[in-house]
């Protein structure tokens, strides 16, 4: 009687219960669940019949968000194959590495990205077919839509899925080295879906806006979460603030996910772009520690409710949630925002989380002693694809080591203080760049900020702040330093402030602090 834990089982349920409900809105395209899954079945059958794709074969997808990209998240794994959703913002050389390393036999590509893929085709001898997701004929390419139309009644042969089979391989952003392929199982993904729904109940009334890329940890598994509850996916290729606010109003959006950098963009959007939500709108944020000031602005100015979660691609991705407790309701708004900026507590089924010191012992829950977040349990990846050395380095003694430095408060809430590699040691004192950034973001002239350690002859290293001003504002380094000294211990205050137009980021929006640290020679001559 055992049935594998799998998002594919959730697809089966949604198809049966919600066939006539609106499943997807993508511009002028609107599909019911029956239409969405009929397309998915025809795509699965096409993979089997035309390309010979079977159990364990890898299929790559290079595309921004769309109803077609969403369909791939059921069409490929339903026949036991493994989807490789590639970050479409990467360079062509990165496409080549990921497709080659994953061993993908077929590559599905959005037409806008076809020229980039064509430039590397000679480097991909293992790829048997390149398929355009839409658009007109192109030499050397198959076209998905005409192929799906050839047999409208096609149905795939469905293999038995084991919950330990791979459902996707998601490649990390590769900020300092080649990206690693994170192997996610059907069980990993299903547990993450159920965990989220246990803590953040959703219903068929929910309308979800795709401000988050689907390639990013499978859209934090919202590719399957929204489907599981029969909600509506509203597709958005890129999170342009004007388009976000427009869709929030027009499509009566009730839920979206966004990294802090997207939240900052929405919070700083001009007043004329802002549109009211039709009702309650919840925003799940993760990807980097959000500043309390950002949370306060989104909740206070836009009226949206922030739900803060934490995780990594290697943990499917959620492992903690900032759990709302009754005692928080009586606190002032700024204090609630500070608590909400913490990463929170374990989800009910994700597994065990500990913050440990260098000897592997759990740190005291005093809100001050720093250690590394380690986890084990149901959402931890099966390992890095074809990389046993990296897997062994990351998973030691049965625990996945995240590389995130954190403290644990007396109430059990975990709070990230930094990436271990980004902790600044000045005169023997540890300084959290995240803490300094959180303070500077409270200054009314600051839109974004990144703090890094730079070598210093006297102190070893000191904090340097790279600041992006708010639109129409001017950052005065002297005034900003006075603000920092008012709110921080003096040794934590940056020794220099550099006003910049933008911060360097990975293709998933994370700030590349190693790039900022490499600018020392340039700023030393200023």
In whole angstroms, what is the distance from residue 494 CA to residue 437 CA? 10
Residue identified by tokens 């992006």 is 468
At 421, the pLDDT band (50, 70, 90 cuts) reads: confident
Higher pLDDT, 267 or 428: 267
Does residue 507 register a pLDDT over 70?
no
355 bridge partner residues: 373
Residue-wise pLDDT for 261-317, tens only, equals 888 889 888 889 998 888 899 999 987 767 788 888 899 989 999 999 999 999 999
Higher pLDDT, 99 or 505: 99
The 10 Å CB-count burial string (b at 16+, else e) for 259-292 is bbbbbbbbbebeeeebeebeeebbbbbbbbbbbb
Phi and psi of 306, rounded to 5°? Answer: -90, 130
At 525, the pLDDT band (50, 70, 90 cuts) reads: very low
DSSP designation for 374 = E
Cis omega (within 30 of 0) for bond into 317: yes
SS3 468: strand
CB atoms within 10 A of CB 20: 9
Higher pLDDT, 139 or 433: 139
Q: What is the mean pLDDT of the chain?
A: 92
pLDDT for position 174: 57
In whole angstroms, what is the distance from residue 406 CA to residue 424 CA? 14
In whole angstroms, what is the distance from residue 484 CA to residue 490 CA? 8
pLDDT for position 490: 86
Does residue 509 register a pLDDT over 80?
no
The structural domains of the chain, ordered by start, are 7-238 (3.40.50.12780), 423-524 (3.30.300.30)
Q: Which two tokens stand for residue 49?
A: 């019949």
Phi and psi of 32, rounded to 5°? Answer: -80, 170
Residue-wise pLDDT for 336-376, tens only, equals 988 999 999 999 999 999 999 999 999 999 999 999 999 99
Q: How far does Cα 242 stand from its chain's mean position?
A: 21
Residue identified by tokens 């976000």 is 244
In whole angstroms, what is the distance from residue 103 CA to residue 144 CA? 21
8 A C-beta contact, residue 350 and residue 195: yes
Across 428-447, average pLDDT: 87
38 bridge partner residues: none
Judged on CB neighbours under 10 Å (0-12, 13-18, 19+), 46 is buried
pLDDT for position 259: 86
Q: Which two tokens stand for residue 169?
A: 């391989």
- The pTM score is 0.86
8 A C-beta contact, residue 414 and residue 371: no
Residue-wise pLDDT for 191-207, tens only, equals 999 999 999 999 999 99
Does residue 526 register a pLDDT over 60?
no
8 A C-beta contact, residue 182 and residue 381: yes
Residue-wise pLDDT for 214-260, tens only, equals 999 999 999 999 999 999 999 999 999 999 999 999 999 999 999 88
What whole-number percentage of the chain has pLDDT above 70?
97
In whole angstroms, what is the distance from residue 156 CA to residue 42 CA? 7
């Amino acid at each position: 009687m055992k049935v594998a834990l799998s998002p594919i089982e959730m697809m089966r349920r949604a198809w049966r219960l919600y066939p006539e409900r609106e499943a997807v809105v993508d511009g002028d395209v609107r599909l019911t669940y029956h239409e969405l899954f009929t397309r998915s079945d025809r795509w699965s059958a096409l993979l089997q019949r035309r390309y010979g794709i079977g159990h364990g074969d890898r299929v790559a997808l290079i595309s921004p968000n769309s109803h077609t990209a969403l369909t791939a998240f059921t069409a490929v794994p339903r026949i036991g194959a493994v989807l490789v959703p590639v970050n479409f913002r990467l360079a062509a050389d990165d496409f080549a590495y990921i497709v080659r390393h994953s061993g993908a036999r077929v590559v599905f590509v959005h037409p806008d990205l076809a020229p980039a893929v064509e430039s590397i085709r000679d480097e991909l001898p293992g790829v048997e077919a390149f398929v355009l997701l839409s658009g007109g004929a192109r030499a050397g390419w198959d076209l998905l839509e005409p192929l799906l139309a050839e047999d409208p009644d096609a149905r795939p042969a469905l293999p038995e899925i084991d919950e330990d089979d791979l459902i996707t391989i998601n490649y990390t952003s590769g900020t300092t080295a080649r990206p690693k392929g994170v192997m996610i199982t059907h069980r990993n993904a299903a547990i993450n879906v159920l965990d989220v729904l246990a803590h953040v109940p959703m219903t068929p009334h929910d309308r979800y806006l795709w401000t988050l890329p689907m390639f990013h940890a499978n859209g934090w598994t919202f590719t399957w979460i929204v489907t599981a509850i029969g909600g509506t996916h509203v597709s958005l290729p890129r999170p342009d603030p004007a388009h976000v606010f427009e869709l929030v109003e027009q499509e009566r959006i009730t839920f979206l996910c966004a990294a802090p950098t997207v939240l900052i963009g929405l919070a700083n959007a001009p007043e004329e772009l802002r549109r009211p939500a039709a009702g309650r709108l919840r925003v799940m944020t993760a990807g980097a520690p959000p500043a309390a000031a950002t949370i306060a602005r989104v909740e206070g100015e836009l009226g949206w409710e922030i739900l803060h979660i934490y995780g990594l691609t290697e943990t499917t991705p959620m492992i903690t949630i900032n759990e709302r407790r009754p005692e928080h309701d009586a606190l002032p708004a700024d204090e609630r925002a500070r608590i909400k900026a913490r990463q929170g507590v374990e989800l009910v089924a994700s597994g065990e989380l500990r913050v440990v010191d260098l000897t592997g012992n759990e740190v005291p829950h005093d809100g001050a002693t720093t250690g590394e977040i380690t986890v084990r349990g149901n959402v931890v990846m099966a390992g890095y694809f074809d990389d046993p050395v990296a897997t062994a380095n990351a998973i030691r003694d049965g625990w996945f080591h995240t590389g995130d430095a954190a403290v644990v408060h007396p109430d059990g809430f975990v709070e990230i203080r930094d990436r271990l590699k980004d902790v600044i040691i000045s005169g023997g004192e540890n300084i959290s760049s995240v803490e300094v950034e959180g303070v500077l973001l409270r200054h009314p002239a600051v839109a974004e900020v990144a703090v890094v350690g730079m070598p210093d002859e006297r102190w070893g290293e000191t904090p340097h702040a790279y600041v992006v001003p708010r639109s129409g504002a001017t950052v005065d380094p002297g005034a900003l330093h006075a603000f920092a000294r008012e709110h921080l211990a003096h040794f934590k205050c940056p020794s220099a402030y550099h006003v910049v137009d933008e911060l360097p980021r990975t293709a998933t929006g994370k700030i590349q602090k190693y790039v900022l640290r490499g600018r020392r020679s340039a700023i030393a001559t200023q």
